[in-house]
Amino acid sequence: MDIETFRNYCLSKKGVTEDLPFGPGTLVFKIMGKMFALASLDEVPLKVNLKCDPEEALTLREEYPEWILPGYHMNKMHWNTLVLDGNLQKSLVFRLVDHSYDLVLQGLPKKLQQELKAL
């Protein structure tokens, strides 16, 4: 998967913005100001970090040990790094983006959740 496909999918989700808070090499996607995805723009193949339920994170790392790793520079219990070199199915990557988005959405204060619904 290339960065444009990943980026377009992330931006298609309600309330998502993109930013480069860590410099030009890391593209960050946020929902209502909270990160749910990061993409390393300087690496080939593309690597992205996504939030994940801790139990599912471990299961995914066992099932895809070369392509789903503990989150680079993140809390390794709650984040995975995906290596997008073509070995992970696009549907799996999109499902994990959705999962990350949903986890962050559920953790937002009720006020921000209501603001998002109103968008």
Q: Identify the CA nearest to 45 among candidates 93, 97, 104.
A: 93
pLDDT digits (tens, 9 = 90+) for 71-89: 888 888 899 999 999 999 9
* Spatial separation of the C-alpha atoms in residues 4 and 82, rounded to whole Å: 16
**Segments forming the whole domain that contains residue 103:** 3-118
SS3 68: strand
The angle formed by the CA atoms of residues 49, 5 and 91, to the nearest 5 degrees, is: 75
Domain harbouring 20, CATH code: 3.90.1150.30
Local confidence band at 61 (pLDDT 50, 70, 90 cut-offs): very high
* Spatial separation of the C-alpha atoms in residues 113 and 115, rounded to whole Å: 5
Is this prediction's pTM over 0.85? Answer: yes
Helix axes 90-107 and 3-11, enclosed angle (nearest 10) = 40
Number of domains composing the chain:
1
* Spatial separation of the C-alpha atoms in residues 20 and 71, rounded to whole Å: 18
Mean pLDDT of the chain: 94
